Structure 1
Amino acid sequence: MERLKDKVAIVTGSTSGIGIAIAKLYAAEGAKVIICGRRQERGEAVVQEIRDAGGQAAYHFMDLMDTKSIEALMKDTARDYGRIDILVNNAANASPKDGQVEEVTLEQWDEVFDSNLRGTFWAVKCALPFMKEHGGSIVNIGSMAACGGDLQGTAYAASKAGVDMLTKDIALQYGKNNIRCNCVRPGLIVTPQNEPRIPDVLKKIYLSNICVTRYGRPEDIGHLCVYLGSDESYYMTGQILTVDGGLNTHSPTVAQFRELDSRTW
């Protein structure tokens, strides 16, 4: 415990899903956590849950599409706490209107890129002046969608591939300032909020292709983010870490072979 003792951590998009798990684990490890997102009521509820568990947290409004709100988040955090040690760029836009190339409008493309890539870039840019004073860790939440082509979600996959390269740029350019930057690519992460919306057929396909016996949970991403935010990971930077149950470790035909009797091949 207390691997993040007294560190000041900003976790964007921390009013639901993976973001909440990261924020709660950070607080449990001793960090002072800034919960941020657009839903103030939900954000303040998360803050109260963390405080009830003995942690330290505060809420700050932030909208990835509003650059001024991102600037204010960084400036206010540095003013109130004297520093920014960890920035987790978790907030993102997975638009239900995103689809195949011919289906995506320029407006939809721009909306996804403005949130996922431009928003991440701007958050880092606004945090860097405060992190350069004493070093820190930036954790970008990417997606396994960036690992290869996608039948749907064209803009989302392309924007997350951009986050991968941005991660490497930051690591290279600011490593000598003792600022590290890594990217976590989650696979399918099932939460109470999204599980009812995931078709059973998709769950079956995914489970037949991963190497382990269950879907991912928000805490699976959160535990890795604790390590990346801690001093334990000092020698790790510029890395793209895929957490997908082993989906990308094997041939695309594995699921089909599992349907066969092993004696036939």
Structure 2
Amino acid sequence: MFMDRLKDKIAIVTGSTSGIGIGIAKLYAAEGAKVVICGRREEKGQAVVDNITKEGGESSYHFFDITNTNSIEKLIDDTAEKYGKIDILVNNAANVALKDGNIDELTIDMWDAIFESDLRGTFYATKCVIPYLQKNENGGSIINIGSMASCGGDLGSTAYACAKSGVDMFTQYTALQYGKDNIRCNCVRPGLIVTPENEANVPEVLRNIFLNNIMVNRYGGPEDIGHMCVYLASDESEYVTGQIVNVDGGLNSHVSTSAQFRELNSRTW
């Protein structure tokens, strides 16, 4: 199954002490990359490193706070010093505030906190890594983890959706401005991803709503996002940049009334 598609590459996966980040990091290591696990929870981060090492991969842990610019700088600089280069940055760390509220319910502090982690953090980590990627003969790959929340309006998640929409546009600006340096930048927008951390908190009624609207017969797992991120980090995707890729089981690829008509066993009104 694994083919060393990322052999000898140095990868940073932010927010890789849980959920989607772990899924990405494990697949990267399995494909031959040396992976930096980073987040605020050292015990959980070291557990991921130990698991990767047990499976024959190479990994290390680095403390990381997406809201702290000094922490971001230190992560990037220390990684380059330790391994001699950086090839891949996955901007996965974010404040997943899916229930942040409607516009009239949000405070300035709530809005700023979400933008600080979900958009400003992605911007600054990218800014810090670009000089290192420019030193590489083959450039490198930046992968931003977006969200299906940016695909259209919803009844809540206002600040989160707006921040993730900013990530979409930031992806395209990065790709345009640094493509001639062989630096690629793409965005992956996950659909409903059930992880070991959130599984108990995803009620059955919510799962059923999604399953009724997803084109396939299941919701997603971290490995679904991980496989796309492996491709976007590998040399196989060297002609792919500036793209916003939905990995959502087809959730956002049909008209919004399809699920209801399916329940009626009807194609139209």
TM-score, scaled relative to structure 1: 0.98
Percentage identity across paired residues of the two chains = 68
Aligned positions of 1:224-263 closer than 5 A: 224-262=228-266
Between the aligned partners of 1:192 and 1:199, the Cα distance in structure 2 is 14
Q: CA RMSD in A?
A: 1.1
Structure 1's consecutive aligned runs of 4 or more residues displaced over 2 angstroms after TM superposition are: 261-265
Q: Gapped runs of 5+ residues in structure 1? A: none
Q: Answer yes or no: is 1:128 the counterpart of 2:143.
A: no
Q: Which position in structure 1 is the counterpart of 2:200?
A: 196
Q: Which residue among 172, 179, 185 is the counterpart of 1:168?
A: 172
Structure 2 residue 159 is the aligned partner of structure 1 residue 155: yes
Q: Is residue 98–residue 153 contact of structure 1 (8 Å, CA) maintained in 2?
A: yes
CA shift digits 1:44-76 (9 cap, x unpaired): 110000000000000001101111000000000
In 2, are the aligned partners of 1:14 and 1:35 still within 8 Å (CA)?
yes
Match in the other structure for 1:8: 10
Q: Which residue of 1 aligns with 2:74?
A: 72
1:9-43 CA-partner distances (Å, limit 9, x unpaired): 00000000000000000000000000000001110
Instruction: Please name the residue that 1:141 is paired with.
Output: 145
- Partners of 1:20 and 1:247 lie apart in 2 by 23
Asked if the contact 1:97/1:108 (under 8 Å) is kept, the reply is no
Structure 2 residue matching 1:132: 3-state secondary structure: helix
Q: Deviations over 1:142-173 (max 9, x none)?
A: 00100101211100000000000000000000
Question: Would the aligned equivalents of 2:261 and 2:267 in 1 still touch at CA under 8 Å?
Answer: no
Inter-partner Cα distance in structure 1 for 2:233 and 2:263:
41
Q: Tell me the residue number matched to 1:58.
A: 60
**Residue-pair matches, total:** 265
Please show how residues 205-224 of structure 1 align to structure 2 within 5 Å: 205-224=209-228
Residues 214-223 or 246-255, more deviating = 246-255
Q: What SS does structure 1 have at the residue aligned with 2:135? A: coil
CA contact (8 A) 1:112 1:156 kept: yes
Note the alpha carbon deviations across 1:96-150, whole angstroms, 9 max, x for none: 6611111111000000000000000000001111110111000000001001012
Write the letter of the residue equivalent to 2:216. V
The residue that corresponds to 1:17 in the other structure is: 19
